[in-house]
Structure 1
Amino acid sequence: MKSNKKIIIAAIAILVVVGVGLWATGSLETTSTNLDGQEINLAAAASLKNAYDNDLIPMFEEKYPGVKVTPTYASSGDLQSQIENGLEADVFMSAANKQMDALADEGLIDNSTNVQFLENKVVLIVPKDSSSNISSFNDLKNVKGHIAIGDPESVPAGQYAKEALTNLGIWDDVKPKLSLGTDVTAVLNQVAQGSAECGIVYSTDAKSTDEVKVVCEAPEDALKTPVIYPVAVLKDSKDPDAAKAFVEFLQTKEAKDIFVKYGFTIHE
């Protein structure tokens, strides 16, 4: 009897050691759920498009070959409205807390998955061949042409721009010159194409093209609200296991390194 007990104990010990080894090497799946055939509808701020399309979605689909990720990009305010009106979304990543908080207050977010994830910077840009004398946000008072910003009613980048211009005491001066974009990509394009003399976008957007150049960052005392990108699973997700796996994947080192490559900072 004692001999049998020793054999059983030894067998259990071997299984534990093998299991730990598999887990450490990544040979053992971290989730017992089979995600094959599941789909993830991603609703993400327009400023995230390049990072997702070029790198992160292909990386995730390679890691989970049976899962398909379908992205929808727009301003965070537009995405909020679409989700409120029935957009089939599994994961939402906003360029500001305002839109995420609104959906959470309406009971549409799985709050256990809500993560304060990325940070960005707000910058002033001009066309790459611009000869203007703009060197600071305060110089916008003297601009003769159009100043492109996102629509503050729905675009977080526009809300940050309005906050900075208001805190600097120049909002009333620049308001008549504003050309409002439907999202930050539209603002970037206005400046790149020269239809606006300058514009206010995220640092990551300015880095995505060589058609514009950065004049300066928004002064710290002009922007009281940090530019935070939260991400969460929608409560009514049709494939919540895959959606949660996607949000967990975003928080791995390999995914964070991609965001950093595109100019984002990881929120700690």
Structure 2
Amino acid sequence: MDMRKLTWISSSVILLLLSSCASSSDSSETTVRIAAAASLKDVMEELAPLFEEQYNIELETIYGSSGKLARQIEQGAPVDVFLSADLRWIELLKEQNLVAKDTYIEFATNRIVLIGHDSTSPLDTIQDLKLKENEQLAVGNPESVPAGTYTKQALERIQLWGSLEGQMVFGSDVRQVLAYVESGQVDYGFVYASDAMISDQVITLTQVDNRLHDSIVYPGIVISESRTKDQGQKFLSFLTSDQATDIYKAYGFNPMRGGKIEQ
């Protein structure tokens, strides 16, 4: 099977899961449903219990590429809060009046890195990346995966995208790209620094110069059709708390507060 067609979870399944959650009327008013970029999974698994204990508000989170999640929200998926890895998907929802005014925040930034296996030699820059005839490179689908979008921008800037594209395998989100490299199905992959940090099966070969692509910013916003807007706003405020900041740092993100990056 063409690996480009493989996905962890289809858009229709995501929508089905969300709709299933919404059908439970006894929890719909007290549970905040969050659609979060796949790269936030480990961070969210630490943040969610802290928030739930502190505010006595239940969270339900689904993960996927920011593009696919935004399209599901467009189609009416019952989401209360959207955490993206790319500003453009928030802008898309804003243009359609699908987000609540004055709820937008930016809470973290990241870096794109090239990963490989222990036997692979580190590179000085991505300009040094050369694939042998039988080697493959995993990249998030640039149409829906922000990490893939940033990667394509960088490789196009240094005129490498065209020569490498024929040996690329496109992942449905950044975690699938990581899994491809971890499993040995491909030789290299472009992921976030935070994804590389959580894996002991890959090594970081080099970082991508962040001047080669758009700024990597993680924004969050409450969806206009949410029935738990106040609770969703509390969660977004929690994302800029000291507790959250420490967790971002532990997982390789740079926290943001007031539009500024905290080192």
Structure 1-normalised TM-score? 0.82
Give the CA RMSD over aligned residues: 1.4
Q: After superposition, what is the alpha-carbon deviation per residue over 1:43-80, rounded to whole angstroms, capped at 9, x for unaligned?
A: 00000000111x10000011022x21000100000100
Distance 2:34 2:103 in 1: 15
1:49 equivalent in alignment to 2:10: no
Q: Deviation of residue 139 (structure 1)? A: 2.8
Q: Which amino acid aligns with 1:98?
A: R
1:232 partner SS: strand
Alignment of 1:231-250 (within 5 A): 231-250=220-239
Aligned to 2:198: 208
Aligned to 2:9: none
1:100 equivalent in alignment to 2:90: yes
Q: Which amino acid aligns with 2:110?
A: N
Aligned to 1:68: 58
Gaps of 5+ in 1: 1-36
Query: Are the counterparts in 1 of residues 107 and 239 from structure 2 also a CA contact under 8 Å?
Result: no
Q: After superposition, what is the alpha-carbon deviation per residue over 1:200-245, rounded to whole angstroms, capped at 9, x for unaligned?
A: 000000001110000111024422x110010011111111111111
Q: Which amino acid aligns with 2:88?
A: K
Query: Are the counterparts in 2 of residues 118 and 228 from structure 1 also a CA contact under 8 Å?
Result: yes
What is the percentage of aligned positions where both structures have the same residue? 36
Larger Rg: 1
Q: Which amino acid aligns with 1:56?
A: L
Structure-2 change in CA distance of 1:220 and 1:239 (3 Å) = closer
Q: After superposition, what is the alpha-carbon deviation per residue over 1:109-164, rounded to whole angstroms, capped at 9, x for unaligned?
A: 1130101221000000002x223575531233334311000000100000001001
Q: After superposition, what is the alpha-carbon deviation per residue over 1:61-105, rounded to whole angstroms, capped at 9, x for unaligned?
A: 11022x210001000001001101111111100000010110111
Aligned to 1:174: 164
Q: Deviation of residue 247 (structure 1)? A: 0.8
1:40 partner SS: strand
Aligned to 2:8: none
Query: Are the counterparts in 1 of residues 79 and 226 from structure 2 also a CA contact under 8 Å?
Result: yes
Q: Which amino acid aligns with 2:65?
A: S
Query: Are the counterparts in 2 of residues 141 and 173 from structure 1 also a CA contact under 8 Å?
Result: no
Query: Are the counterparts in 2 of residues 141 and 170 from structure 1 also a CA contact under 8 Å?
Result: no
2:156 partner SS: helix
Task: Count how many residue pairs are aligned between Structure 1 and Structure 2.
Answer: 228
1:142 partner SS: coil
Alignment of 1:144-163 (within 5 A): 144=133, 145-163=135-153
1:123 partner SS: strand
Q: Which amino acid aligns with 1:185?
A: R
Q: Deviation of residue 252 (structure 1)? A: 1.1
Q: Which amino acid aligns with 1:89?
A: V
Q: Which amino acid aligns with 1:52?
A: M
Gaps of 5+ in 2: 1-28
1:228 equivalent in alignment to 2:228: no
Distance 2:131 2:38 in 1: 30
1:81 equivalent in alignment to 2:89: no
